[in-house]
């Protein structure tokens, strides 16, 4: 696993968007977006997905879709809706495999 930071832009279904500093975890499987940002972008949960949180705890987190502009490319990708608080930043693993980007705590 390797970590590094990049700048990107997230866009919700209503067109609201925000620039974000993304913490890329090459071992992650989904984008992780904090609940406060989800609310600002007006993202809507489509399903839930099991996650394994640091310390071995399992939980079901909602999954939405978000537009991601990164390095000149635009994609729509699934994202976890993370609960508020520091525990949310340890969940980069799921049982599904999609895009390998997670949001840093400072985003």
25-79: per-residue pLDDT in tens? 777 777 888 899 999 999 999 999 888 777 788 888 999 999 999 889 999 999 9
Token duo for residue 77 = 């990708």
Please state, in angstroms and as integers, the Cα–Cα distance from residue 21 to each residue in 18, 43, 52, following that order: 10, 18, 24
Residue 67 sits in a domain whose CATH number is 2.40.70.10
Element (H, E) at 9: strand 3-11
Assign 20 a pLDDT band (cuts: 50, 70, 90): confident
pTM over 0.85: no
Element (H, E) at 59: strand 57-70
Number of domains observed in the structure of the chain: 1
**72-90 pLDDT, tens digit each:** 999 999 999 988 754 334 3
Its domain, for residue 71, covers 3-103
Give the span between the Cα atoms of 87 and 1, in whole angstroms.
Answer: 20
Give the span between the Cα atoms of 79 and 22, in whole angstroms.
Answer: 13
């Amino acid at each position: 696993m390797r970590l590094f930071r990049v700048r990107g832009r997230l866009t919700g279904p209503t067109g609201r968007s925000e620039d974000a500093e993304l913490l890329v975890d090459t071992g992650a499987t989904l984008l992780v977006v904090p609940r406060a940002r989800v609310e600002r972008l007006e993202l809507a949960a489509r399903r839930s997905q099991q996650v394994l949180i640091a310390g071995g705890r399992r939980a079901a987190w909602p999954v939405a879709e978000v537009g991601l502009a990164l390095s000149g490319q635009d994609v729509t990708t699934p994202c976890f809706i993370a609960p508020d608080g520091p525990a949310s930043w340890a969940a980069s693993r799921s049982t599904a495999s999609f895009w390998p980007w997670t949001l840093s705590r400072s985003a």
